[in-house]
Copies of this chain bind each other. A is one copy, B any other.
């Protein structure tokens, strides 16, 4: 067996699917499943089996021919590759409708993304407690980021304030941003940004919905998730 070579670059499309495999594998593990074939995993993930094999092959040759993949080992490998061997605390900017829903959601902490803090600019919002976290003033952002070693920030402000929020996050030392505001953020090189725009999702559905009329059923590529993290 060769010495651990330099880390291979993993295609973006694969990176986007690994979390899905991971979730499924963790679930399988809790159901005492010890071994899974690419076909089985593909079925559960709603993708092609060859794609699963190719994706997993970027991690290394961790399968056993004729048998499949050991679930626990795969979980470990994917976690390692995704950098999920330790927690990534996140800070949320904007304690409105959405920010509160996010802060009150346990799913993130469970998956390794505890809410290190939530901040707002509105003095009226400061002080209330959501999901066990007290809302603090945005001026405390830098302090939170640095003391808790936060590298991921979430923008949940109104669109007009989103760029300001992003600027503050970057200034505070955050290097990855998840943006819920429907605006294109400008960030310095080296900062990763991902955008979740629900209106865009609905509009895409609308497009296919509208085409459906009169065209009958049509198949439009399966549900994947290829989106760049810009830098």
A residues whose Cβ falls under 8 Å from a Cβ of B: 7, 10, 12, 15-16, 18-20, 22-24, 44-46, 81-84, 88, 90, 97-98, 100-102, 104-105, 107-108, 111-113, 151-152, 175-176, 178, 182, 184, 186, 189-190, 192-212, 217-231
Contact A209–B108 (Cβ < 8 Å): no
Quick one: which of B82, B112, B217, B230 contacts A231, CB cutoff 8 A? B217
30 contacts between A and B (CB under 8 A): A10-B207, A16-B200, A18-B207, A22-B203, A45-B184, A83-B209, A83-B210, A83-B211, A90-B202, A98-B105, A101-B101, A107-B199, A111-B202, A113-B202, A152-B202, A176-B208, A176-B209, A178-B198, A178-B201, A178-B202, A190-B218, A192-B205, A192-B209, A194-B223, A204-B229, A219-B230, A221-B229, A222-B228, A223-B228, A227-B227
Cβ 8 A contact of A205, one of B206, B212, B229:
B229
Other-chain residue from B186, B192, B197, B220 in contact with A230 (beta carbon distance below 8 A) = B220
A210 to chain B minimum Cβ distance, whole angstroms, is 3
